Amino acid sequence: MKKQFAAAVDVGGTNTKFGWVDSAGQLYGSGSVKTGEFSTAEDLIHRVYLELQDLINFDETEAEICGIGVGAPNANYHTGCIHHAPNLDFAKSIVPFASIFTEISGLKCRITNDANAAAIGEKIYGKARDMNDFMVVTLGTGLGSGIYTGGQVLYGSDGMAGEMGHTCLIPGGRKCGCGRLGCIERYVSIGGLTTTFLEVSEGKKGELRPRQIQALAEGGDQDAIQTYRLTGEYLGLHLSSMAALFSPEAIFLSGGLAQSGEVLLSPMRKAFEDNLLTHHKGKIKIELSGLKKQKTALLGAAALAFSSFSQ
Ligand SMILES: [Zn+2]
């Protein structure tokens, strides 16, 4: 049988990364372009496909390309479109990204949002291979979530379900990029942590990045410890509500902020356990993703292609 490959593309506000992945999750060559250099989706896709073709020489007697998987913000699995993505200049309206990719490459293409792609990656290549009910929560610039229920990704009626980041944590709280107030994404994310530290320290220690705040916390700085404690408690409390809704076997955390260590994870676990329904207590694991941080997005996008197109 021929070896199967998928092209994986991760569209981000700053960089669009791409590469080839085989069905065992091995990454063969990767590259990236600056997303902001392209004013239309057509221009971006032409360039990405050109570079993908240069990355690897397939011997068609031994290898077969099953399709293209794309992870992107505000991507709709059902329609193949990117809808009004605030951080993507080419997608201020609705852009049929998957069908443009197919037109240009002649390959089948599936698209979903980056957190759903991370969840599919966890299912195919990570720690959730034997699970049917789990969540992946990505903690970075924003807070994303991908939810598996009954062995399927939860897409909802319109293909856009699973947006835990835009569920309300604090009524009337911080203004979110989605236009609403108090979304958990404004509290449990890189920017959220920075803002909480500014509030807790009353601005006396300046605007610091999470890494600097983490170093302060590890050195015993009470403001920094309090900042991580609050952030962990917000996340743990909110995940306990998600557990009541979806009854997952496990919740996996990925993204830069998930790497903060016990200063974040310990208060998060305590708030989670304290607020779980009695019948869930002690049964739901929270762990770090089984995928390497730098590869999560591309492995997730490839897993989307394999799960959609592979025989
Ligand atoms: Zn929001």
The angle subtended at Cα 85 by Cα 55 and Cα 46, nearest 5°, is 30
One pLDDT digit (tens) per residue for the chain, 311 residues:
788 999 999 998 889 999 999 999 999 989 999 999 999 999 999 999 999 999 988 777 788 999 999 999 889 999 999 998 877 888 888 999 999 999 999 999 999 998 999 999 999 999 999 999 999 999 988 899 999 999 999 999 988 899 999 999 999 999 998 899 999 999 999 999 999 999 999 999 999 999 999 999 999 999 999 999 999 999 999 999 999 999 999 999 999 899 999 999 999 999 999 999 999 999 999 999 999 877 889 999 999 999 999 86
C-alpha 175 – ligand 1 centre gap (Å)? 8
Which residues are paired to 109 by β-bridges? 68
Q: What is the pLDDT of residue 14?
A: 87
C-alpha 183 – ligand 1 centre gap (Å)? 5
Q: What is the pLDDT of residue 266?
A: 97
Q: What is the pLDDT of residue 177?
A: 86
Q: Are strands 15-22 and 3-11 parallel, antiparallel or unpaired?
A: antiparallel
Q: How far apart are CA 165 and CA 181, in angstroms?
A: 12
Q: What is the pLDDT of residue 311?
A: 65
- Would you call 169 helix, strand, or coil by DSSP? coil
Q: What is the pLDDT of residue 84?
A: 85
C-alpha 174 – ligand 1 centre gap (Å)? 9
Segments making up each domain of the chain, as ranges: 3-119+294-309, 131-289
C-alpha 137 – ligand 1 centre gap (Å)? 15
C-alpha 177 – ligand 1 centre gap (Å)? 6
C-alpha 180 – ligand 1 centre gap (Å)? 6
Q: Is the whole model's pTM more than 0.85, yes or no?
A: yes
Q: How far apart are CA 125 and CA 158, in angstroms?
A: 27
C-alpha 80 – ligand 1 centre gap (Å)? 22
Using CA atoms, how far residue 280 sits from 32, 147, 240, 275, in Å, is 43, 18, 9, 10
C-alpha 139 – ligand 1 centre gap (Å)? 14
Is CATH 3.30.930.10 the classification given to domain 131-289?
A: no
C-alpha 165 – ligand 1 centre gap (Å)? 6
C-alpha 179 – ligand 1 centre gap (Å)? 6
Q: pLDDT tens digit string along 53-68? A: 999 887 777 889 999 9
Residue 290 main-chain phi, psi, to 5 deg? -85, 0
**Candidates 2.60.120.330, 3.40.50.280, 3.30.420.40, 1.25.40.20; CATH matching 3-119+294-309:** 3.30.420.40
C-alpha 169 – ligand 1 centre gap (Å)? 10
CATH topology match: 3-119+294-309 vs 131-289: yes
Q: What is the pLDDT of residue 273?
A: 98
C-alpha 126 – ligand 1 centre gap (Å)? 28
C-alpha 309 – ligand 1 centre gap (Å)? 33
C-alpha 88 – ligand 1 centre gap (Å)? 17
Tokens matching residue 105? 């490459």
Q: pLDDT tens digit string along 273-286? A: 999 999 999 999 99
